[in-house]
Amino acid sequence: MSLIANIVVALVALLHLYFLVLEMFLWDKPAGLRAFGQTPASAAATKVLAANQGLYNGFLAAGLLWGLWLGPEGFGVKVFFLLCVLVAGLYGAATASRKILFVQALPAAVGLVLVYLSRAA
């Protein structure tokens, strides 16, 4: 169970690294425009805000990777950062797009359950 939990945590981290790249470097490029349904004009107007948002996603990924690096001692770190991802996903789903619920919040929730189950085993 621990291996599966760590794989899910790693996938959530990789997902947030992907968000970092999209938001910091591809926001006003074709991939970013498609991913976020932006027009070139709206992307240009929000590019700095998106880069800031991408940086935060990078911090989430770094925290999750740190928790994995710590091994069994990283339980609390993984739980904290998965909770941060979950809250951000719920807030994003409520305020921006319901899609965020499935792309961000659901993987974090699954990761949390698996991390707790692996601790109990």
Give per-residue pLDDT as tens, 14-62: 999 999 999 999 999 999 999 999 999 999 999 999 999 999 999 999 9
Rounded to whole angstroms, the Cα distance separating 118 from 121 reads 5
CB environment 66-90: b (16+ within 10 A), e (fewer): ebbeeeeebbebbbebbebbbebbb
Q: Answer yes or no: pTM beyond 0.85.
A: yes
Name the residue range of residue 97's domain.
Answer: 2-120
Total tally of structural domains belonging to the chain: 1
- Dig out the tokens for 75 from the structure: 């339980």
Average pLDDT over residues 58-73: 97
